[in-house]
Amino acid sequence: MKGLIGKKIGMTQLFGSDGNVVPVTVIETGPCVVVQKKESAKDGYNALQLGFGSKKSQRVNKPGQGHMGKAGKGAF
């Protein structure tokens, strides 16, 4: 599967060569890190959990802090 993970920043418009206006969504993409890896032998399916962006550690509850701390990534 190919795709992007990002955050919507806003909307703008672009003008085509023929003068048509095209609405465009502006998306901030950034480095994503693998937070957790699920394997079929242990969990019954294959999956990756990705983290994107940042968050103050005060805004993350204790279970979330433990989950990210186990991955060695800190708060997202």
Q: Is residue 23 part of a domain?
A: yes
Q: Is residue 1 part of a domain?
A: no
Of residues 13 and 34, more confidently modeled: 13
Does position 2 have pLDDT exceeding 70, yes or no?
A: yes
| Residue 26 pLDDT | 97
Distances (CA, A) of 21 to 17, 25, 28: 10, 13, 22
Does position 76 have pLDDT exceeding 80, yes or no?
A: no
The length of the chain in residues reads: 76
Q: Following DSSP, what letter does each residue of 40-53 receive, concatenated?
A: HHHHSS-EEEEE-S
Q: Is residue 66 part of a domain?
A: yes
Q: Is residue 56 part of a domain?
A: yes
For 14-59, how does the pLDDT look when each residue is reduced to its tens digit (9 = 90+)?
A: 999 999 999 999 999 988 888 889 999 999 999 998 888 778 888 8
Please tell me the total count of domains within the chain: 1
Where in the sequence is the domain holding 40, given as residue range(s)? 6-71
**Has this prediction a pTM greater than 0.85?**
no
